[in-house]
Structure 1
Amino acid sequence: MKSERNKMVEIFKGGIPVIETLERWYEDFKLEGYGAMIPFIGIVRPDNGIEGLSFDLYLPLLNEWFKKWNELPDAKIKMAHSFGDVKVGETSFLCAVFTKHRREGFKYLEEFVEDFKANAPIWKYDLIDGKRIFAEDRAKPLPQAGILK
C-alpha cells in the first residue's frame, strides 16, 4: 500500500497500515517538544452486511479544508485517509494530534474528528455483493458543494 504524502495529509489506496504509519509519525515528532500524541483509528465495521466501504475524495479540496488544522499555534495534526475499497476490519481513517499536554490534545482531537465528519470532501460507498452503493443515508452536504452522487 503506497501513500501520497502532501504536507500533513497522507492518502492510501485501500486500507491504511496503522502501526507503520503511527510509528513513522511518532518518529517525526518525538523530539519536537510535544508531550502527547493522541491517535484516532477509524475501523470499517461489518454493519448491515457490508463487505467494506469505498471512498472517493477530491485532494485539492481536502488539502484546503485541512489547511486551518495545519496552522494551529500549539499543536500539530497528522491525518491519513483511504481512497478506493477498504474491507471490513481495515482502517480507512487515521489521525494523531501532537500537543504539549494531553488535555488540549483531547480537545483538538474531538474538534478535528467532528469537523472531518461534517466537512471533509470525502464520499463514502457501501460495498455489497461486490458493488459500490452510495451511502446517501450517511452523507452530509458539503458547504457550497452539496452531495456528490
Structure 2
Amino acid sequence: MFELYKGSLNVPLLYAKWYEAYKGANLGAFVSFCGIVRAEDMLEGLSFDIYENLLRSWFSTWQERVEKEGVKLCFAHSIGDVGVHESSYLAGVFSKQRKLGLALINDFVEDFKANAPIWKYDLIKGQRIYAKDRSIKLLGAGLLSDKG
C-alpha cells in the first residue's frame, strides 16, 4: 500500500486502514514507524517535494524484495507543508513474525532516508528553506554537489 497526501498525515486513520486491510492475512506482526515533525529552533514545520514516479519505483523494489517472505509493506508520506507535532511519514510492515518485522521496518526506514527521492525544506518565519545540512545526495539527482 503506497499513499501520498497533501499536508500532514491522519495517522490513526491510516493505521486503522492498514490494520483492517491485512488483519486477516495470517500475519502475526504489524510493526510501524511514524515520523513526527519536532519543534527545534525557530522551525514552524517542514515541507516536502516528491518525485512520485521514482518514489513508486523505489517502493516497488522493496515490495519485490520482501514478497518471498509473505511480507506486506505500507507507506504514506506528505507532500507540501507539515506543521510541528504533525506526522509526515508512516511506514508499516506486516510479517509472520515480530523479529522479521522489526528488522525490516528498520531497514526500510534507513533505506528511505538514504535513497527516496524526497526533498525536505524547513518552514521558518513563513519561508521555505532547503534543509541541505540534513539532506543526503541522491545518486544521479544533481540536486546536491560536492562543490555546493
TM interval, shorter chain, is over 0.9
Equivalent residue, structure 2, for 1:147? 143
Residue aligning to 1:29: 22
Runs of 5+ in structure 1 lacking a partner?
A: 1-7
Aligned length: 142
**Structure-1 residue corresponding to 2:46:** 53
Q: TM-score, normalised by structure 1?
A: 0.92
> Matched residues in 2 for 1:141 and 1:27: separation?
37
Give the drift of 1:69.
1.2
Unaligned runs of 5+ in 2: none
Q: Which runs of 4+ in 1 moved over 3 A?
A: none
Q: Which residue of the partner structure matches residue 119 of structure 2?
A: 123
Within 1, Cα distance between the matches of 2:46 and 2:26?
37
Confirm or deny that 1:62 pairs with 2:58.
no
State the 1:11 CA deviation.
0.3
**Partner SS state of residue 56, structure 2:** helix
Which of 74, 83, 87 aligns to 2:79? It is 83
Once the two structures are TM-superposed, the CA of residue 24 in structure 1 deviates from its matched residue by 0.4
Distance in 2, matches of 1:21 and 1:76, equals 15
Question: What per-residue deviation string (whole Å, max 9, x for no partner) do you get for residues 87-123 of structure 1?
Answer: 0000000010000000000000010000000000000
Contact 1:54–1:125 under 8 Å retained in 2: yes
Q: Which residue of 1 aligns with 2:133?
A: 137
Tell me how far 1:147 sits from its aligned partner. 2.4
Q: Give the C-alpha shift of residue 33 in structure 1.
A: 1.3
TM-score scaled to structure 2, two decimals?
Answer: 0.93
Which residue of structure 2 lines up, in the alignment, with residue 112 of structure 1? 108
Question: Matches of 1:119 and 1:128 in 2, distance apart?
Answer: 26
Provide the rounded CA distance (Å) in 1 between the counterparts of 2:22 and 2:48.
29
Taking the aligned partners of 1:41 and 1:90, their CA distance within structure 2 comes to 10
The amino acid of 1:47's aligned partner reads: E
Kindly indicate whether residue 36 of structure 2 is the aligned counterpart of residue 43 of structure 1: yes
Shift of 1:9: 1.1
